[in-house]
A and B are shown apart, each in its own frame.
Chain A
């Protein structure tokens, strides 16, 4: 390819036709673009084809096209799409590089340190310009370290986060994926980028080393693949230096070395723990990352809780605890939580005593006490009627008084009835009836109504009884003597009890009796109806005839 025209200016050598087309496009006056001209179109096609093919080596991913199809038959839209396919992945990378180059001083850019000076210079110019050519010798060097680069590339990508945010993460991921898969095939296409990355890393190292150690990194690419452990895991192993801010960068250097040694992450952990106790005191909190601090705290908490769970429970957590099971005076320290719903009993103070005494004094003064009052007892007896004796002389003569009494007893003149007498009589009668009932309830035998002292009713009571006060509780069994009830020999047999001999005897007796009667009758008839003096009764004696109102029994005399 033709050498780059220097940006400062200089003699232009004769260009190849594609470049010539570009040049002509560039120099064409603007008004020519306003009207459609086939000439310009042809030039444009040529130029774009040329550019496409020149940029093809820089593409990291294999494109579906290897050359731009920009014949007359192709539409502007189609051509544009093809260009898009190529340029889209390229642009972010190039922009990033451009920005980096902007920061550098011009001397560095043009400096001799980097072998691909030309390549870097070319990057500064626009995408459309020519590309770089690298030395084949350096290619191999780059290839050796490609594999070690992988991790560190990630780190670097992290550093260029702003780019990725703008452009999306597709390019990053795509490039990573590519790295893992087909590295051999894309050597050529990668070369430029690898170079750049190497350069960048080298630059970073040298730029951010204020101590000026100028420590050359043997493997500048080893830092790309560092992990967390590389940064923070081995700190315990290595001797800690007095804290300085750039220690991180320093450690990154160390990590690159350790990365080459290829320590397993497991070892670092174990070493961490073992070294923890020894190194913890010596390390400040500043040296630990936030995550490290948090994890340390968590671990200690977990240990604490595990210890608690394994140990036997405190006495307050056990169920029923007597005094023997808990330490001495421990119940005083614990806050026993239960509600007292009544509150404490009142404390007696002088004031309360005074209040009480005031109440008592007040009551004494009023004379108002709550003693038991005697209930008025009910009168058990009726009040006696006190008859007043009249002192005055009686107006009636003695004869007149006797006369009145006689008249009352014989019934000729009724006694003067006063209203109180009427009431008294009624009350008396009611009371008697009541008393009769009560008495009848409480006596053992049933007592019938007492005999009314009325001469009209015949009662078979001996005269003595009439004069006596008849006992109320009397049954009719007491009225008559046993002989009066039954006189005769004992040994009275029922019909069912009779034996054959008894029946015969009875029948014989009956017959005799009948015969005797018959004989008498005939004798009577013969004599002619004599009056019978006295009834010939055998067996049962006289019976009383009395009418009992309640029972209405009649027992007739035979």
Chain B
């Protein structure tokens, strides 16, 4: 098992290195394809390789035409299998944090919550990998208020670090009858205003935490990006009366996520490369928005 993991990881890194060359090849093929479709002469720098590339172009289909990146590799099998999530907290959680973790478990379908105890992170992740989990989610706190969320995709996948703010949990609302029970149907997702490349990447990471829903599911989880703060809402809707009237009922906790790091490795691999890191001490950060245009 260990050798397999090592071999797979090495393959992954090797493929990542090849991406640059693949990219070059892809560009050349694209140019030839465009030249052919637009009936222009083929650019002179590609004349020598034109014949071989033409052959490859003819044999290509939609899947092979697009160059595969490491991101695709990470989520290659995600659409085939339903995600399996392991949810846990930091060490010594307070009661509000455990309540919040319980609520998160209800939000993510196919998730299991685990008591942290005194386990080491690397052990947790190793165990999760063996048991075929696809993601591990950690929740951190500060004096009772949940303030951090770590989403670690498993085989060697990316780890996304979020900061939480404006957390309102279901437990805060005292009236239990009014709240009712949480529906556990596979939800629809709304990911709004993730337009940059980084935004797309974040959206991808969040998206693959959830399984494929049924088309008529009435439960909606929304991640709305407003100036780099991702606002999370959990609604259930009803369509009483005509098609025009749709009633939204808010259910479940609400919080704001602020992405500050994406790492190309699991959470325990501290030496892994950072894909993107937020730099809040730069003077230009106050003007820049990273997840939207």
Contact = CB atoms under 8 A, between A and B. Distances in A.
B282 interface: yes
A357 B222 CA distance: 9
A345 B166 contact: yes
B213 A342 contact: no
Contacts of B286: 341-343
Given A372-B207, A372-B208, A374-B79, A341 B280 contact: yes
Contact of A342 (B190, B256, B285): B285
B78 A360 contact: no
A356 B193 CA distance: 12
Interface stretch (A52-60, A228-236, A298-306, A362-370): A362-370
B196 to A, nearest CB: 16
A467 interface: no
B229 A345 contact: yes
B208 A360 contact: no
Contacts of A373: 79, 212
Nearest to B232: A356
A373 B189 CA distance: 12
B79 A375 contact: yes
Given A370-B191, A373-B212, A360 B79 contact: no
B79 A369 contact: no
Nearest to B191: A370
A341 B282 contact: yes
Interface string B201-232: 00100011011110000001010101101010
A318 interface: no
Interface in A324-370: 339, 341-343, 345-348, 352, 356-357, 359-361, 363-365, 369-370
A370 B283 CA distance: 35
Interface residues of A, number: 25
Nearest to A344: B165
A349 to B, nearest CB: 11
A264 interface: no
B276 interface: no
B248 A370 contact: no
A458 to B, nearest CB: 44
A373 B210 CA distance: 11
A356 B203 CA distance: 17
Nearest to B239: A364
B28 interface: no
Contact of A346 (B79, B256, B280): B256
Contact of B213 (A345, A363, A371): A371
Interface in B238-270: 246, 248, 254, 256, 258
Given A356-B224, A370-B190, A341 B235 contact: no
A36 to B, nearest CB: 97
B14 interface: no
A547 B229 CA distance: 77
What's the dominant secondary structure at chain A's contact region? Answer: loop
Nearest to B258: A345
A365 B79 contact: no
A353 to B, nearest CB: 8
A370 B207 contact: yes
Most buried by A among B190, B254, B283: B190
B16 interface: no
A377 B246 CA distance: 36
A358 to B, nearest CB: 10
B188 A346 contact: no
Interface residues of B, number: 38
B165 A356 contact: no
A70 to B, nearest CB: 94
A365 B212 contact: no
Given A342-B280, A345-B258, A346-B226, A359 B79 contact: no
B123 interface: no
Nearest to B229: A346
Given A346-B229, A374-B79, A375-B80, A359 B207 contact: no
Nearest to B208: A372
B235 A360 contact: yes
Interface string A177-197: 000000000000000000000
B210 A360 contact: no
A346 B229 CA distance: 8
B78 A372 contact: yes
Contacts of B165: 345
Interface in B145-190: 165-166, 188-190
Nearest to A363: B190
Contact of A371 (B212, B237, B256, B281): B212
A372 B285 contact: no
B261 to A, nearest CB: 15
Contacts of A341: 280-283, 285-286
Contact of B246 (A361, A372, A374, A375): A361
A360 B248 contact: yes
A359 B226 CA distance: 12
A352 B224 CA distance: 11
Contacts of B189: 369-371
B211 to A, nearest CB: 7
B113 interface: no
B192 interface: yes
Contacts of A359: 190, 192, 222, 224
Given A346-B226, A361-B248, A374 B80 contact: yes
Contacts of A377: 80
A360 B282 CA distance: 34
A428 to B, nearest CB: 20
B227 A346 contact: yes
Interface string A124-158: 00000000000000000000000000000000000
Contact of A372 (B210, B248, B281): B210
Nearest to A338: B281
A342 B220 CA distance: 30
A372 B211 contact: yes
B229 A364 contact: no
Given A342-B286, A371-B212, A372-B212, A360 B203 contact: no
B213 A365 contact: no
A227 B154 CA distance: 96
A348 B213 contact: no
Most buried by A among B188, B235, B281, B283: B188
B6 to A, nearest CB: 21
B129 interface: no
Given A357-B248, A377-B80, A371 B210 contact: yes
21 contacts: A341-B283, A342-B286, A343-B286, A345-B229, A346-B227, A346-B256, A348-B256, A352-B231, A356-B222, A357-B235, A359-B224, A360-B190, A360-B220, A363-B222, A370-B203, A371-B213, A372-B78, A372-B210, A372-B211, A373-B79, A373-B212
Given A346-B229, A360-B233, 7 more contacts: A341-B286, A347-B166, A348-B254, A356-B231, A360-B235, A363-B222, A375-B79
Interface of A: 339, 341-343, 345-348, 352, 356-357, 359-361, 363-365, 369-375, 377
The 9 closest A-B pairs by CB, nearest first: A370-B191, A375-B79, A369-B188, A345-B165, A341-B285, A341-B286, A370-B189, A363-B190, A342-B280
